[in-house]
Amino acid sequence: MPPSREHIRIYIDAPLSPGAQIALSREQAHYLRNVMRRSAGGTIGLFNGRDGEWRASLTELGKQHALATLDGQIQAQRGTPDLWLICALIKRARLETIAEKAAELGVREIHPVITEYTNAPRMNTDRLAAITIEAAEQCGLVSIPKLYEPEKLHALLDKWPPERRVLFCDEAGAGGAALARLQAAATPQAPWAVLIGPEGGFSPAERDRLLAMPQTLAVSLGPRILRADTAAIAALGLWQSVCGDWNNAPVAIDRTAV
Ligand code: SAM
């Protein structure tokens, strides 16, 4: 495949300000030089999740190191809607899909949970965090979803914020059609969470507890049982359409000199 001339965006955990010189990691230097075939003098975008996105000139690009000098901000810092994804731990590949898609779909926080029927009790936090960063680099985000360590669903519910609504995706059909229910309940300014269960679904005790919470809106995602990753993507898209930022105008980004 020929090298792409697309706008390259790189996440870096360093303060970004005019004229700052940023040392990139060895892996980032390798990526820029050998994968994207860039050379010194080229430009890239840098963001850190706090200071927006900046146009940066590659002042040095060697085999092992790269130095970028910030020219100016091309995108102001902006957050994503106040949406959490609560998802039960599932097998590695599908959980990675969920992490990537949650970032792309503008989730602010990802809370993996262990439910009564969870049969994949571990996750690789570093790998999932790297996946959310790659997704943010690829899709123009300037914020990275906050990824939490797994905890028990019941423990999370014990400290549930009273103002946060829960879109409880319930394959057992406790709720009605998701679009109509969400439109009827739409409280655009409210914080929300989308809740997706494990491969084994929710236990009766979990379902009873969730249905008893005043914050819960139980919904069906149709007559088919979806895989957890499919259900997460469908529910997040639905929420963004009704309550989130899919109706907002696209953000203008000044990439004229990138
Ligand atoms: N093993 C469960 C069963 O057969 O009933 C299916 C669990 S499903 C693979 C994983 C999760 O995706 C569910 O707990 C639920 O949160 C969500 N989900 C899947 N299909 C859904 C549907 N049609 N409506 C609502 N949620 C759904």
CATH numbers and ranges of domains, the chain: 9-75 (2.40.240.20), 83-243 (3.40.1280.10)
pLDDT at 251: 58
Residue 86's pLDDT band, with cuts at 50, 70 and 90, is very high
Report the pLDDT value the prediction gives residue 2, as an integer from 0 to 100: 40
| Atom of ligand 1 lying closest to residue 198 CA | 10
Q: Which of 114, 225, 230 to mutate to test the pocket of ligand 1 (most atoms within 8 A of CB)?
A: 225
Are the CB atoms for 68 and 74 separated by under 8 Å? no
- Tell me if 88 sits within 8 A of 197, measured CB to CB: yes
Which tens digits make up the pLDDT trace of 41-74?
999 999 999 999 999 999 999 988 999 999 999 9
- β-bridge partners, 109: 84, 146
What is the pLDDT averaged over residues 111-140?
A: 95
Q: What's the mean pLDDT when you consider all of the chain?
A: 92
d(CA 95, ligand 1 centre) in Å: 15
Q: How far is ligand 1, taken at its centre, from the CA of residue 172, in Å? A: 7
Residue 1 has a pLDDT of: 38
Distance 27 CA to ligand 1 centre (A): 39
